[in-house]
Protein backbone atom coordinates (compact mmCIF):
# COMPACT_ATOMS: atom_id res chain seq x y z
CA UNK A 1 0.00 0.00 0.00
CA UNK A 2 1.25 3.42 -0.92
CA UNK A 3 0.30 6.67 -2.63
CA UNK A 4 1.70 6.51 -5.24
CA UNK A 5 2.77 2.87 -5.40
CA UNK A 6 3.24 2.04 -9.10
CA UNK A 7 7.03 2.48 -8.80
CA UNK A 8 7.39 -0.32 -6.24
CA UNK A 9 9.56 -3.33 -7.12
CA UNK A 10 8.13 -5.38 -4.24
CA UNK A 11 5.77 -7.40 -6.50
CA UNK A 12 8.78 -8.59 -8.52
CA UNK A 13 10.53 -9.73 -5.34
CA UNK A 14 7.64 -11.46 -3.59
CA UNK A 15 6.10 -13.06 -6.68
CA UNK A 16 9.55 -14.45 -7.53
CA UNK A 17 9.64 -16.17 -4.14
CA UNK A 18 6.01 -17.33 -4.33
CA UNK A 19 6.79 -19.05 -7.62
CA UNK A 20 10.15 -20.39 -6.38
CA UNK A 21 8.63 -22.05 -3.31
CA UNK A 22 5.50 -23.23 -5.13
CA UNK A 23 3.15 -21.30 -2.86
CA UNK A 24 -0.45 -20.32 -3.53
CA UNK A 25 -0.67 -16.58 -3.40
CA UNK A 26 0.05 -13.29 -5.10
CA UNK A 27 1.58 -9.95 -4.20
CA UNK A 28 -0.28 -6.99 -5.66
CA UNK A 29 -0.02 -3.20 -5.63
CA UNK A 30 -2.69 -1.35 -3.66
CA UNK A 31 -2.81 2.41 -4.30
CA UNK A 32 -4.39 3.81 -1.14
CA UNK A 33 -4.92 7.50 -0.47
CA UNK A 34 -3.83 8.62 3.01
CA UNK A 35 -7.38 9.34 4.17
CA UNK A 36 -8.38 5.76 3.35
CA UNK A 37 -5.49 3.96 5.05
CA UNK A 38 -7.39 2.86 8.16
CA UNK A 39 -10.27 1.40 6.15
CA UNK A 40 -7.88 -0.33 3.76
CA UNK A 41 -5.86 -1.94 6.56
CA UNK A 42 -9.01 -3.05 8.39
CA UNK A 43 -10.23 -4.69 5.18
CA UNK A 44 -7.16 -6.96 4.86
CA UNK A 45 -8.50 -9.85 7.01
CA UNK A 46 -11.90 -9.82 5.31
CA UNK A 47 -10.31 -9.89 1.85
CA UNK A 48 -8.13 -12.87 2.68
CA UNK A 49 -4.78 -11.05 2.80
CA UNK A 50 -1.94 -12.42 4.93
CA UNK A 51 -0.70 -8.85 5.29
CA UNK A 52 0.89 -6.03 3.34
CA UNK A 53 3.87 -3.74 3.04
CA UNK A 54 3.55 0.00 3.52
CA UNK A 55 5.50 2.66 1.71
CA UNK A 56 5.37 6.47 1.58
CA UNK A 57 3.30 8.13 2.99
CA UNK A 58 1.78 5.44 5.22
CA UNK A 59 4.64 4.16 7.40
CA UNK A 60 4.13 6.51 10.35
CA UNK A 61 0.34 6.79 10.19
CA UNK A 62 -0.01 3.00 10.48
CA UNK A 63 1.44 3.08 14.01
CA UNK A 64 -1.88 4.47 15.25
CA UNK A 65 -4.02 2.06 13.23
CA UNK A 66 -2.67 -1.45 13.80
CA UNK A 67 -3.68 -3.37 16.93
CA UNK A 68 -0.13 -4.18 18.03
CA UNK A 69 3.22 -2.57 17.22
CA UNK A 70 6.33 -4.72 17.34
CA UNK A 71 8.94 -3.23 19.76
CA UNK A 72 11.45 -2.76 16.93
CA UNK A 73 8.90 -0.86 14.82
CA UNK A 74 8.10 1.29 17.85
CA UNK A 75 11.80 2.16 18.28
CA UNK A 76 12.15 3.03 14.60
CA UNK A 77 8.87 4.95 14.67
CA UNK A 78 7.46 3.48 11.47
CA UNK A 79 5.70 0.39 10.14
CA UNK A 80 6.65 -1.09 6.77
CA UNK A 81 5.07 -4.54 7.24
CA UNK A 82 1.60 -5.45 8.48
CA UNK A 83 0.78 -9.02 9.46
CA UNK A 84 -2.78 -10.32 9.70
CA UNK A 85 -2.83 -12.60 12.75
CA UNK A 86 -4.97 -15.74 13.10
CA UNK A 87 -7.63 -13.81 15.05
CA UNK A 88 -7.80 -11.10 12.38
CA UNK A 89 -5.87 -8.51 14.37
CA UNK A 90 -3.10 -6.48 12.74
CA UNK A 91 0.52 -6.39 13.89
CA UNK A 92 2.86 -3.67 12.63
CA UNK A 93 6.52 -4.51 12.08
CA UNK A 94 9.55 -2.83 10.57
CA UNK A 95 12.05 -4.85 8.54
CA UNK A 96 14.09 -1.98 7.08
CA UNK A 97 16.87 -2.15 9.69
CA UNK A 98 17.16 -5.92 9.16
CA UNK A 99 17.27 -5.31 5.42
CA UNK A 100 20.05 -2.77 5.69
CA UNK A 101 22.30 -4.82 7.99
CA UNK A 102 21.82 -8.09 6.12
CA UNK A 103 22.45 -6.46 2.75
CA UNK A 104 25.87 -5.39 4.03
CA UNK A 105 26.61 -8.77 5.57
CA UNK A 106 25.78 -10.59 2.32
CA UNK A 107 27.90 -8.35 0.11
CA UNK A 108 30.66 -7.56 2.63
CA UNK A 109 30.96 -10.61 4.92
CA UNK A 110 33.84 -9.07 6.90
CA UNK A 111 31.90 -5.87 7.69
CA UNK A 112 31.20 -5.28 11.37
CA UNK A 113 29.41 -2.27 12.83
CA UNK A 114 31.82 -2.22 15.78
CA UNK A 115 34.75 -1.51 13.43
CA UNK A 116 34.48 2.22 14.13
CA UNK A 117 32.35 5.36 13.89
CA UNK A 118 29.53 5.54 11.36
CA UNK A 119 28.42 8.78 9.70
CA UNK A 120 24.73 8.82 8.74
CA UNK A 121 23.43 11.58 6.46
CA UNK A 122 19.72 12.36 6.81
CA UNK A 123 17.19 12.18 9.63
CA UNK A 124 14.09 10.74 7.96
CA UNK A 125 12.39 7.37 8.35
CA UNK A 126 15.08 5.45 6.46
CA UNK A 127 17.74 7.02 8.65
CA UNK A 128 15.91 5.86 11.78
CA UNK A 129 15.83 2.26 10.53
CA UNK A 130 19.53 2.33 9.56
CA UNK A 131 20.54 3.83 12.92
CA UNK A 132 18.59 1.26 14.94
CA UNK A 133 20.16 -1.50 12.84
CA UNK A 134 23.67 -0.14 13.42
CA UNK A 135 23.08 0.40 17.17
CA UNK A 136 21.88 -3.19 17.56
CA UNK A 137 24.96 -4.41 15.68
CA UNK A 138 27.24 -2.64 18.15
CA UNK A 139 28.26 0.60 16.39
CA UNK A 140 30.43 2.49 18.93
CA UNK A 141 29.56 5.95 17.57
CA UNK A 142 27.02 7.25 15.07
CA UNK A 143 27.50 10.79 13.79
CA UNK A 144 24.10 12.00 12.60
CA UNK A 145 24.15 14.85 10.08
CA UNK A 146 21.07 16.57 8.68
CA UNK A 147 20.39 19.91 6.99
CA UNK A 148 17.81 20.65 9.70
CA UNK A 149 19.93 20.91 12.84
CA UNK A 150 16.91 20.73 15.15
CA UNK A 151 15.72 17.46 13.63
CA UNK A 152 19.16 15.88 14.03
CA UNK A 153 19.34 17.06 17.65
CA UNK A 154 15.89 15.69 18.46
CA UNK A 155 16.71 12.33 16.92
CA UNK A 156 20.05 12.05 18.72
CA UNK A 157 18.35 12.91 22.01
CA UNK A 158 15.67 10.29 21.38
CA UNK A 159 18.11 7.48 20.60
CA UNK A 160 20.79 8.53 23.08
CA UNK A 161 24.31 7.10 23.00
CA UNK A 162 26.00 6.19 20.69
CA UNK A 163 24.15 8.68 18.43
CA UNK A 164 25.40 12.28 18.36
CA UNK A 165 24.21 15.14 16.15
CA UNK A 166 26.72 17.02 13.99
CA UNK A 167 25.85 20.40 12.40
CA UNK A 168 25.48 20.38 8.61
CA UNK A 169 28.32 22.90 8.31
CA UNK A 170 30.70 20.36 9.89
CA UNK A 171 29.73 17.46 7.63
CA UNK A 172 33.02 17.34 5.70
CA UNK A 173 35.16 17.23 8.86
CA UNK A 174 32.86 14.65 10.47
CA UNK A 175 34.14 12.02 8.02
CA UNK A 176 37.58 12.04 9.66
CA UNK A 177 38.24 8.61 11.19
CA UNK A 178 34.89 7.13 10.15
CA UNK A 179 34.62 3.41 9.38
CA UNK A 180 31.49 3.85 7.28
CA UNK A 181 29.38 6.53 5.61
CA UNK A 182 25.67 6.08 4.89
CA UNK A 183 23.49 8.38 2.77
CA UNK A 184 19.81 7.96 3.68
CA UNK A 185 18.60 11.09 1.84
CA UNK A 186 17.25 11.31 -1.72
CA UNK A 187 20.25 13.40 -2.81
CA UNK A 188 21.80 11.65 -5.79
CA UNK A 189 18.59 9.92 -6.88
CA UNK A 190 17.52 10.37 -10.51
CA UNK A 191 16.12 13.88 -10.85
CA UNK A 192 17.63 15.12 -7.56
CA UNK A 193 20.82 17.10 -6.98
CA UNK A 194 23.82 15.13 -5.81
CA UNK A 195 24.82 15.05 -2.16
CA UNK A 196 27.03 18.02 -1.28
CA UNK A 197 29.77 16.20 0.62
CA UNK A 198 33.57 16.20 0.20
CA UNK A 199 35.24 12.86 0.92
CA UNK A 200 38.77 14.24 1.47
CA UNK A 201 38.95 13.23 5.14
CA UNK A 202 37.17 9.88 4.82
CA UNK A 203 39.58 6.94 5.34
CA UNK A 204 40.07 4.94 2.15
CA UNK A 205 39.20 1.72 3.99
CA UNK A 206 35.77 3.07 5.04
CA UNK A 207 32.63 1.51 3.58
CA UNK A 208 30.42 3.96 1.68
CA UNK A 209 26.76 3.02 1.47
CA UNK A 210 23.83 4.71 -0.25
CA UNK A 211 20.27 3.46 0.23
CA UNK A 212 19.36 4.77 -3.25
CA UNK A 213 19.16 2.14 -6.02
CA UNK A 214 17.97 4.33 -8.92
CA UNK A 215 20.59 4.94 -10.21
CA UNK A 216 22.59 1.92 -9.07
CA UNK A 217 25.66 4.14 -8.68
CA UNK A 218 24.96 7.61 -7.31
CA UNK A 219 27.51 10.42 -7.67
CA UNK A 220 28.49 9.75 -4.02
CA UNK A 221 29.24 6.08 -4.71
CA UNK A 222 31.08 6.92 -7.94
CA UNK A 223 33.31 9.43 -6.12
CA UNK A 224 33.95 6.94 -3.31
CA UNK A 225 34.81 4.13 -5.73
CA UNK A 226 37.25 6.34 -7.63
CA UNK A 227 39.20 7.06 -4.45
CA UNK A 228 39.32 3.38 -3.46
CA UNK A 229 36.46 2.98 -0.97
CA UNK A 230 34.26 -0.11 -0.97
CA UNK A 231 30.71 0.89 -1.98
CA UNK A 232 27.21 -0.54 -1.63
CA UNK A 233 24.00 0.75 -3.20
CA UNK A 234 20.48 0.41 -1.81
CA UNK A 235 19.26 -2.55 -3.86
CA UNK A 236 20.41 -5.05 -1.24
CA UNK A 237 18.41 -3.26 1.47
CA UNK A 238 15.29 -3.43 -0.72
CA UNK A 239 15.77 -7.16 -1.30
CA UNK A 240 16.65 -8.11 2.27
CA UNK A 241 13.91 -6.09 3.99
CA UNK A 242 11.43 -8.24 2.08
CA UNK A 243 12.72 -11.51 3.60
CA UNK A 244 11.28 -11.29 7.16
CA UNK A 245 8.01 -9.89 5.76
CA UNK A 246 7.68 -12.90 3.43
CA UNK A 247 8.46 -15.22 6.34
CA UNK A 248 5.76 -13.59 8.48
CA UNK A 249 3.13 -14.11 5.78
CA UNK A 250 4.14 -17.46 4.29
CA UNK A 251 6.23 -19.22 6.95
CA UNK A 252 9.37 -19.42 4.76
CA UNK A 253 12.49 -17.24 5.13
CA UNK A 254 13.62 -16.82 1.50
CA UNK A 255 17.11 -16.18 0.16
CA UNK A 256 18.37 -13.28 -1.92
CA UNK A 257 19.82 -15.06 -4.94
CA UNK A 258 21.64 -13.79 -8.04
CA UNK A 259 18.54 -14.76 -10.06
CA UNK A 260 16.29 -12.55 -7.94
CA UNK A 261 18.75 -9.67 -8.01
CA UNK A 262 18.99 -9.89 -11.81
CA UNK A 263 15.21 -9.96 -12.17
CA UNK A 264 14.84 -6.78 -10.10
CA UNK A 265 17.79 -5.05 -11.78
CA UNK A 266 16.13 -5.64 -15.15
CA UNK A 267 13.24 -3.39 -14.03
CA UNK A 268 15.45 -0.46 -12.98
Asked if residues 258 and 267 have their Cβ atoms less than 8 Å apart, the reply is no
Q: What is the DSSP string of 145-204?
A: E-SSHHHHHHHHHHH-TTEEEE-GGGTTGGGTT-SEEEE-SSTTSTTSPPP----TTS-T
Backbone angles phi, psi at 165, to 5 degrees: -85, 135
Looking at the chain, the whole-number percentage of residues with pLDDT higher than 70 is 100
Q: Are 163 and 185 a contacting pair, CB within 8 Å?
A: no
> What are 153-169's pLDDT values in tens digits?
999 999 999 999 999 99
Q: CA 76 to CA 227: how far, in whole Å?
A: 33
Q: What is the pLDDT of residue 109?
A: 94
Catalytic residue, from 9, 14, 16, 59: name it: 59
Segment 83-91 shows an average pLDDT of: 98
User: How do residues 251-260 score in pLDDT, each as one tens digit?
Assistant: 999 999 999 9
CA 241 – CA 206 distance, rounded (Å): 24
Cis previous bond, 148, omega within 30: no
Give the other-Cβ count within 10 Å of 54's Cβ: 26
- The arithmetic mean of pLDDT across residues 233-250, rounded, is 97
DSSP, residue by residue, 208-227: EEES--SSSS-HHHHHHHHT
Global pTM? 0.95
**What is the spatial distance between Cα 30 and Cα 28, in angstroms, rounded to a whole number?**
6
Confidence label for 23 from pLDDT (cuts 50, 70 and 90): very high
- Is the separation of the CB atoms in 27 and 18 below 8 Å? yes
Mean pLDDT value across residues 21-38: 97
Cβ-Cβ contacts under 8 Å for 47 (sequence gap 6 or more): none
pLDDT at 250: 96
Please state whether the peptide bond connecting residue 228 to the residue before it is cis, i.e. omega within 30 degrees of 0: no
State residue 266's pLDDT score.
97
Which pLDDT belongs to residue 29?
97
Instruction: Give the pLDDT confidence score for residue 85 in this predicted structure.
Output: 98
Supply the mean pLDDT for the chain.
97
Distance CA 213, CA 183 (A): 12
pLDDT given for residue 78 in this prediction: 94
pLDDT band at 170 (very low <50, low <70, confident <90, very high): very high
How far is 230 from 234, CA to CA, in rounded Å? 14
Please state, as a whole number, how many other Cβ atoms lie within 10 Å of the Cβ of residue 28: 11
**Within 13 Å of residue 37, how many CA atoms lie on the same side as its CB?**
23
What does the pLDDT look like over 179-225, one tens digit per residue? Answer: 999 999 999 999 999 999 999 999 999 999 999 999 999 999 999 99
pLDDT grade, residue 52 (50/70/90)?
very high
Residue 59: active-site member: yes
pLDDT at res. 38: 98
**With bands split at pLDDT 50, 70 and 90, how would you rate the model's confidence at 27?**
very high
Bridge partners (DSSP) of residue 92 are 69, 82
- Structural contact between residues 99 and 240, judged by C-beta atoms closer than 8 angstroms: yes
Q: Any idea how long the chain is?
A: 268
Average pLDDT over residues 117-137: 96
- Region 3-22 average pLDDT: 96
Confidence at 65, pLDDT banded by 50, 70, 90: very high
| 246 vs 52: CA distance, rounded Å | 10
Amino acid sequence: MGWPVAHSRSPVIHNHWIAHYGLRGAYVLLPVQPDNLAQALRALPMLGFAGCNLTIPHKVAALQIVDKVDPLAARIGAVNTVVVEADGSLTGRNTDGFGYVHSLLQEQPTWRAENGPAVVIGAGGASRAVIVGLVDQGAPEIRLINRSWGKAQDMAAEFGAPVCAIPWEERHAALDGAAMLVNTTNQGMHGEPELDLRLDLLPVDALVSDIIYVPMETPLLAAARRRGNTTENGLGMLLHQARPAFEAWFGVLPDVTPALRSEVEATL
